[in-house]
Amino acid sequence: MKKIMVLFGEKRWISKPFSDDKYMYSYEYFYSICRKNEIDVYRASYDWYDYKNKIFKYAWIFDTKNKKWKRAYNIKPDLVYDKTKSIPEAFMKISRIRADYPFFNCMEFSKIVDDKFVISMLFPEWCKKNKLIRDAKDLSRAFEKMPANKKLVLKPVNLSGGENVFIGTKKEIMAGIKKAKIKVADWMLQDFIDSSNGIPGVMRGVHDLRLVLIDEKISYSYYRKPASGSLLANLAQGGSMEIVPINKLPQNLFPIIKKANMLFSGFEHKIYALDVMFDREQRPWIVELNSMPGMYFAKGQEDIRNRFYGDLVCVFKSLLGKN
């Protein structure tokens, strides 16, 4: 039986591995599929790694026979599936662990994909004009050149899930930062995308569209709609998701995918999400790329879930066969 370690960030040991049951059930099902394919999947924080002995001191594993999570000890995985945030602390710890074990995605790929500013330079024809904001002084200088009524988006360069994203005029953004008591550091300021006309041939209304790619193949796609009163469609921010069949995707997306496949061809195996919005003229704009697409699927999406999980298992088996 091969072993895969799903790696996440700093975390103390608590009574169960997930705070949200719907995410926990998704992982339970996925782990069960992996076990049927002779793969045991564990879940651990990088803080549970013993660098001296090159071993994970403990980790979560789902007991598929008794249907419960339990603690496992002294695990030496054959492969590490990286699900950590793209932050300097994580990169520092991951770089030490990957000296001992192979990683998926590789750290270099995640660094590129999760950096919104880098992506804006790689895909200039599909990214809104933006400015890198290093601190509060940078933001003040940038705002001086902006009209008072111009709608803008301020978001962290590396975080995902809609975390610390501010939308509005410069006055509204400053008020939001003050209210949230957040320090401005390594953010990106860009023009707002009015997506209210929807996705051509798919839906009407404010949205973002996510394509999940494994290697060069679209595994599945879906659009997200924001909760009432919000412009953030992320599921973590209360948005809802609706599956979009691949054959229904607008054709003007495929040049973006073709360029992504060309740019990332040096990385043999990879998984990432490509998020886009369509403006009022129904032109696609890249919102961000994300090296950690989620595992959750709602009721009624079982066929898509099984296809995605199957695609992921195929990559695992390919990677494990080389180790």
Pick the CATH number of 129-191 from 3.40.50, 3.30.930, 1.10.1060, 3.30.1490: 3.30.1490
Q: Identify the bridge partners of residue 319 per DSSP, sorted by sequence position.
A: none
Strand pairing of 39-45 and 55-63?
Answer: antiparallel
Domain 2-104 has CATH 3.40.190.10: no
Q: Which residues lie below 8 Å from residue 181, measured CB to CB, with a gap of 6+?
A: none
For 5, the token pair is 């370690």
Q: Is 16 helix (H, G, I), strand (E, B) or coil?
A: coil
Q: Which residues lie below 8 Å from residue 21, measured CB to CB, with a gap of 6+?
A: none
pLDDT, tens only, 266-323: 999 999 999 999 999 999 999 999 999 999 998 899 999 999 999 999 999 999 996 5
For 189, the token pair is 């300021």
Domains of the chain by residue range: 2-104, 113-119+194-312, 129-191
pLDDT value for 310? 96
pLDDT value for 236? 60
% of the chain surpassing 90 pLDDT: 78
Class (C level, CATH) for 113-119+194-312: alpha beta
Distance, in Å, from the CA atom of 213 to the CA atom of 293, rounded to the nearest integer, reads 9
For 269, the token pair is 């195996």
Cα-flanking dihedrals φ and ψ of residue 245, to 5°?
A: -55, 140
Same fold, 2-104 and 113-119+194-312: no
Side-chain-side CA neighbours of 223 within 13 Å: the count stands at: 24
pLDDT value for 231? 63
pLDDT value for 87? 81
Prediction pTM value: 0.91
Distance, in Å, from the CA atom of 57 to the CA atom of 248, rounded to the nearest integer, reads 47
Q: Residues 244, 248, 252, 257: what is their CA dihedral angle, to the nearest 10 degrees?
A: 60
Distance, in Å, from the CA atom of 321 to the CA atom of 323, rounded to the nearest integer, reads 6
Give me the residues of the chain with pLDDT under 70, please.
228-238, 322-323
